[in-house]
């Protein structure tokens, strides 16, 4: 097609504009048209419909197979390692608030006697703790 930029030129322009858009991203996040939670809740049915449609069509596994392990590990090498510390920095209080109900429930859980390694008793203990945590989680998201 005449007059269209090469893919390489378009890619460079997109990348440059995207990198330079951080300020616009923050500005938009600070002054949304509607509050984020309101918009997210209003779109919940659409989200569910689209996720189910993608799952039923097998798109999740198709895209993973298409990308392959190289894309996954490449993303970690190029972005993940550098951004991990920045992403978790300062999130301790949020993590603590989320973990606190589980810690409190476990502290009040009756101590279970351990059996020999690989014993059914140990698996039962583990299952009891798993059920306790499932109950805590269901109360938190109810």
Which residues are CB-neighbours of 132 under 8 A, at least 6 positions away?
A: 105, 106, 109
* CA distance linking residue 85 with residue 31, whole number of Å: 27
pLDDT digit string (tens) for 11-23? 999 898 998 898 9
Task: Give yes or no: residues 75 and 136 share one domain.
Answer: no
Specify whether 81 is located in the same domain as 17. yes
Pair (22, 79) in one structural domain: yes
Residue 3 lies in a domain: no
| Statement to judge: residues 126 and 57 lie in one domain | no
Whether residues 16 and 59 fall in one domain: yes
Please tell me whether residues 82 and 26 are part of one structural domain: yes
10 Å CB burial of residue 65 (0-12, 13-18, 19+) is exposed
In a domain, 15, yes or no: yes
Q: State the average pLDDT for the chain.
A: 92
Alpha helices in the chain (DSSP H): 7-19, 22-30, 36-42, 44-56, 59-75, 81-88, 92-107, 120-140
> How far is Cα 11 from Cα 67, in angstroms, rounded to an integer?
19
Structural domain harbouring 129? 95-140
pTM for the whole structure? 0.62
Same domain, 40 and 77: yes
């Amino acid at each position: 097609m005449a007059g269209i930029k090469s893919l390489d030129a378009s890619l460079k322009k997109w990348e440059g504009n995207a990198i330079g858009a951080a300020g616009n991203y923050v500005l938009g996040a600070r002054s949304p048209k509607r509050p984020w939670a309101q918009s997210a809740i209003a779109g919940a049915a659409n989200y569910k419909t689209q996720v189910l449609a993608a799952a039923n069509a097998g798109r999740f596994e198709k895209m993973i197979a298409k990308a392959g392990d190289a894309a996954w590990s490449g993303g970690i090498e190029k972005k993940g390692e550098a951004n991990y510390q920045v992403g978790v920095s300062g999130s301790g209080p949020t993590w603590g608030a989320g973990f606190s109900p589980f810690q409190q429930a476990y502290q009040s859980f009756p101590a279970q006697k351990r059996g020999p390694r690989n014993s059914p008793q140990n698996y039962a203990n583990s299952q009891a703790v798993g059920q306790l945590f499932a109950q805590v989680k269901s109360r938190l998201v109810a």
